[in-house]
């Protein structure tokens, strides 16, 4: 056993054998910190005797799941939290991560909630607001050694740590939240999680780009990576799995923020559909997929003569460049001249939709607004538009049609050509 010193950059986590003033990887000055590690030398070969196994020799294991009372959470994870797994939950500040986890902590027999950012009175205040009971154990601590000792002593079913960026390991002389601290704290929590068969949920801050802050190893070492998405000023929240070693990543959970916390949305299609007593021009209903889940939502369009030489194009919830492409196809292939019109697109409900299946409904909504002709009620439209004006098939078409019919929509348009689509709803 001997000690070895290495120098680690606090900004990027790059390691060096000797100190230098500038980090070659990130360009930061005076960011290298000395860390002493213990190395066990090998005497005449490997320290461990390892033997690879054939697939038939590996024993099957029944992974136990902890199902909660929150069905949307269980749906995303494939049925619940797997015993011995480690989950990373990310999301923008104020989006509702701590609120969701406080409600989740109340669903299990023995839960340890560790907060590194809030005091115990603050946690009690939130628990009262959410009307949760007192069977959850709370701890306000940032020292990793104390946290590991508390986990081993209490042996909880679920441990929630809010957040991983607030923890620090006294072994490493760097500030909490640095790349070195985040990586090493997560690795030690993972080792304890796997050895003891305990389930841990980590909260991770996100960067301006929307990814979890810290090293990429933080995302690679966890068993499931979840994101809670939505707009602060719109109540809808979507829980999405980016990675799941024990299930699919095709499911999403939908919640609605209220004064008493996050409420599950059992029928999300009704949430995103506006109720109109009569047909309105520029409004159309489409079916989109969130994971494998079909959702009916409303697309609204508005067309107005431009007052300037350059017409405006405004898009909310839909890709701006995709809108420009659709308008070009309408003008070239369908003869709809929108060069003198301001065009506005809005996806009702605050969702941001990226899948190309809503190309056709956007195009028909624009033409409906331009000609001031309403589209018949109980009509659902979906389809991808190509540059030659063709309407292409989309994935899981049968599931979309089934969901539309379940909600009483019988007139379904997904034709082979943009001109045929305009004729079907009398907009040609």
pLDDT at 33: 81
Task: Name the strand (E) or helix (H) holding 244.
Answer: strand 236-244
pLDDT at 44 over 70: no
**49 in helix, strand or coil?**
coil
pLDDT at 51 over 50: yes
pLDDT at 203: 94
Ramachandran category for residue 98: left, alpha or beta (phi over 0 → left; psi -120 to 50 → alpha):
alpha
36-45, 55-64, 191-200, 323-332: segment of lowest average pLDDT:
36-45
Full-model pTM: 0.79
pLDDT at 99: 93
pLDDT at 291: 80
pLDDT at 175: 80
pLDDT at 167 over 90: yes
2 — pLDDT class (breaks 50, 70, 90):
low
Mean pLDDT computed over 291-304: 91
Mean pLDDT computed over 221-247: 88
pLDDT at 38: 57
pLDDT tens digits, 357-366: 999 999 999 9
pLDDT tens digits, 122-146: 999 999 988 887 789 999 999 999 9
Mean pLDDT computed over 375-397: 92
186 burial via Cβ count (<10 Å: 0-12, 13-18, 19+)? buried
150 — pLDDT class (breaks 50, 70, 90):
very high
Mean pLDDT computed over 4-17: 79
- Determine the Cα–Cα distance for residues 397 and 55; give it in Å rounded to an integer: 38
3 — pLDDT class (breaks 50, 70, 90):
low
48 — pLDDT class (breaks 50, 70, 90):
low
43 — pLDDT class (breaks 50, 70, 90):
very low
**pLDDT above 90 coverage of the chain, percent:** 48
pLDDT at 49: 66
Under 8 Å between Cβ of 112 and 151: yes
Under 8 Å between Cβ of 391 and 383: yes
* pLDDT, the chain, mean: 87
pLDDT at 37: 63
319 — pLDDT class (breaks 50, 70, 90):
very high
2-11, 12-21, 97-106, 199-208: segment of lowest average pLDDT:
2-11
pLDDT at 241 over 60: yes
pLDDT tens digits, 73-126: 999 999 999 999 999 999 888 899 999 999 999 899 899 999 999 999 999 999
Q: How far apart are the two ends of the chain, measured CA to CA in Å? A: 82
pLDDT at 32 over 90: no
- Determine the Cα–Cα distance for residues 200 and 132; give it in Å rounded to an integer: 20
390 — pLDDT class (breaks 50, 70, 90):
very high
Q: Nearest-CA neighbor of 158 among 87, 98, 61?
A: 87
pLDDT at 98: 93
pLDDT at 45 over 60: no
- Determine the Cα–Cα distance for residues 336 and 428; give it in Å rounded to an integer: 9
What single string gives the DSSP state of each residue in 136-202? SEEEE--BHHHHHHHHHHH--SEEEEE-GGG-B-TTS-S-TTSHHHHHHHHHHHHHHHHHHT-EEEE
């Amino acid at each position: 056993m001997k000690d070895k010193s290495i120098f680690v950059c606090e900004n990027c986590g790059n390691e060096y054998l000797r100190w230098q003033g500038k980090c070659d990887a990130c360009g930061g000055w005076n960011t290298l910190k000395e860390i002493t590690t213990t190395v066990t030398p090998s005497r005449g070969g490997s320290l461990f005797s390892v033997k690879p196994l054939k697939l038939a020799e590996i024993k099957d294991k029944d992974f136990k799941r902890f199902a909660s009372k929150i069905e949307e959470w269980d749906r995303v994870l494939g049925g619940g939290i797997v015993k011995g797994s480690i989950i990373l939950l990310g999301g923008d500040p104020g989006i509702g991560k701590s609120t969701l986890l406080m409600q989740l902590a109340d669903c299990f027999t023995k839960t340890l909630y560790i907060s590194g950012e809030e005091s115990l009175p603050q946690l009690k205040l939130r628990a009262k607001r959410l009307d949760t009971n007192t069977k959850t154990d709370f701890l306000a601590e940032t020292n990793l050694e104390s946290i590991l000792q508390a986990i081993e002593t209490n042996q909880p079913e679920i441990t929630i740590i809010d957040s991983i960026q607030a923890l620090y390991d006294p072994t490493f002389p760097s500030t909490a939240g640095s790349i070195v601290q985040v990586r090493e704290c997560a690795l030690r929590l993972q080792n304890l999680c796997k050895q003891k068969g305990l389930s841990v949920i980590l909260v991770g801050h996100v960067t301006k780009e929307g990814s979890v802050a810290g090293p990429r190893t933080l995302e690679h070492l966890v068993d499931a990576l979840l994101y809670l998405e939505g707009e602060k000023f719109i109540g809808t929240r979507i829980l999405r799995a980016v990675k799941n070693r024990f299930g699919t990543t095709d499911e999403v959970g939908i919640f609605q923020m209220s004064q008493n916390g996050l409420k599950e949305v059992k029928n999300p299609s009704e949430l995103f559909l506006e109720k109109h007593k009569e047909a309105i021009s520029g409004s159309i209903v489409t079916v989109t997929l969130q994971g494998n889940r079909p959702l009916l939502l409303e697309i609204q369009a508005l067309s107005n003569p431009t007052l300037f030489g350059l017409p405006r194009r405004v898009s909310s919830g839909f890709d701006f460049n995709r809108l420009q492409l659709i308008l070009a196809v309408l003008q070239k292939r369908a003869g709809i001249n929108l060069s003198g019109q301001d065009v506005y697109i809005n996806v009702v409900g605050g969702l941001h939709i990226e899948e190309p299946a809503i190309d056709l409904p956007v195009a028909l909504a624009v033409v409906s607004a331009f000609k001031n002709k309403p589209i018949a009620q109980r009509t659902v439209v979906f389809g991808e538009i190509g540059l030659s004006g063709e309407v292409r098939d989309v994935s899981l078409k049968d599931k979309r049609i089934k969901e539309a019919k379940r909600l009483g929509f019988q007139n379904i348009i997904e034709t082979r050509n943009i001109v045929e689509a305009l004729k079907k709803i009398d907009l040609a």
